[in-house]
């Protein structure tokens, strides 16, 4: 099992590495830049050299970043789509410079109620961003969403259609989120429920495309279509649900990032400890 928490790299990659060791993590997640804005911190060669040395010694990884929430490749507003396309391309290159495993993107918001047009716009800009990034080792992962109003990507079929639309490039994959999938309606509390969901995903886009998992409990019940994370074992998935996810032979092999609500990163030590306990 490779598990860690979503941390800040504002003070440098090695700082997030030290935090990871302090909370008992194997890896970490991070925002590729300010999650609600456009400013990108320059991650310089010196920082990367220091981080790679630390990574070599500690074995921390594989790192899974998250793109800003303000990106919406589905919007009819040209400027917003172009901004998103540029950031996705730039951040693939920025994160490839320190050999991040993947960065995660919310597929988009259909604000007009015209799903085919929204999907077509996402496909166009995903393709352009991947082309602009060029040959990078860092994967771009589309996240499975809870299905809040307008949210694209709450069904395997939609994620599959986006992958198919782009011609399934090798650098494009999928990141699962246990909270989102549960609120989208999947029963993650039993092995049978998870198996049924994974069979649907395998048919829609192929399980080999799944490259990471956001491990979160859900504040709201199954099928609520609400995206509100809760601490592990304290939400509607509960200890049974989190245990079912962690003990599943396919899911437990994925790099897992915890994004539960905490006041301070040190609280993630408890979250990671619970995950290790429930993983059996
Ligand atoms: Zn996300």
Tell me what the mean pLDDT of segment 226-253 comes to: 98
Separation of CA 73 and ligand 1 centre (Å): 15
Separation of CA 213 and ligand 1 centre (Å): 10
Separation of CA 205 and ligand 1 centre (Å): 19
What φ, ψ does residue 60 adopt, rounded to 5°? -65, 135
Q: For the chain, how many structural domains are there in total? A: 1
Question: What pLDDT is recorded for position 36?
Answer: 78
Separation of CA 181 and ligand 1 centre (Å): 12
Q: Could you tell me if 242 and 230 are in contact, meaning their C-beta atoms sit under 8 angstroms apart?
A: no
Separation of CA 45 and ligand 1 centre (Å): 28
Tell me what the mean pLDDT of segment 161-189 comes to: 98
Provide the residue range defining the domain that includes 16: 2-278
Separation of CA 65 and ligand 1 centre (Å): 10
The sign of the CA dihedral 61, 32, 119, 197 is: positive
Separation of CA 68 and ligand 1 centre (Å): 9
What φ, ψ does residue 152 adopt, rounded to 5°? -85, 140
Question: What pLDDT is recorded for position 39?
Answer: 81
Lookup: tokens for 21: 């060791």
Give the closest residue to 221 by CA, choosing from 179, 263, 170, 168: 179
Separation of CA 133 and ligand 1 centre (Å): 21
Q: Which CATH number fits the domain that encloses residue 198?
A: 3.20.20.150
Tell me what the mean pLDDT of segment 126-147 comes to: 97
For the entire predicted model, the pTM comes to 0.97
Lookup: tokens for 191: 């092995």
Lookup: tokens for 183: 């609120």
Question: What pLDDT is recorded for position 35?
Answer: 79
Q: 174 forms bridges with which residues in the sheet?
A: 142, 210
Lookup: tokens for 252: 């437990």
Question: What pLDDT is recorded for position 92?
Answer: 98
- Alpha carbons 192 and 184: distance in angstroms, whole number: 17
Question: What pLDDT is recorded for position 152?
Answer: 96
């Amino acid at each position: 099992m490779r598990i860690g928490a979503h941390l800040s790299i504002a003070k440098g990659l090695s700082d997030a590495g030290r935090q990871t060791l302090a909370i008992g993590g194997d890896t970490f997640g991070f925002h590729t830049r300010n999650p609600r804005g456009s400013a990108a911190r320059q991650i310089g060669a010196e920082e990367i050299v220091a981080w790679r040395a630390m990574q070599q010694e500690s074995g921390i990884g594989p790192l899974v970043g998250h793109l800003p929430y303000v990106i919406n490749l589905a919007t009819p507003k040209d400027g917003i789509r172009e901004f998103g396309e540029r950031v996705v391309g730039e951040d693939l290159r920025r994160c490839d410079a320190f050999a991040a495993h993947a960065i995660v993107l919310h597929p988009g918001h259909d604000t007009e109620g015209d799903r085919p047009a929204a999907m077509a716009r996402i496909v166009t800009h995903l393709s352009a961003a991947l082309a602009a990034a060029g040959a990078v080792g860092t994967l771009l992962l589309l996240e499975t969403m809870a299905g809040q109003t307008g949210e694209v990507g709450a069904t395997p079929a939609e994620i599959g259609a986006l992958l198919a639309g782009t011609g399934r490039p090798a650098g494009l994959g999928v990141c699962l989120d246990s909270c989102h999938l549960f609120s989208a309606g999947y029963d993650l509390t039993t092995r049978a429920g998870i198996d049924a969901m994974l069979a649907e995903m395998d048919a829609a886009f192929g399980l080999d495309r799944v490259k990471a998992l956001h491990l979160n409990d859900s504040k709201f019940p199954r099928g609520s279509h609400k995206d509100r994370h809760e601490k592990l074992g304290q939400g509607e998935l509960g200890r049974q649900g989190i245990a079912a996810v962690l003990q599943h032979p396919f899911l437990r092999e994925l790099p897992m990032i915890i994004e539960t609500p905490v006041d301070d990163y040190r609280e993630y030590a408890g979250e990671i400890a619970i995950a290790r306990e429930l993983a059996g």
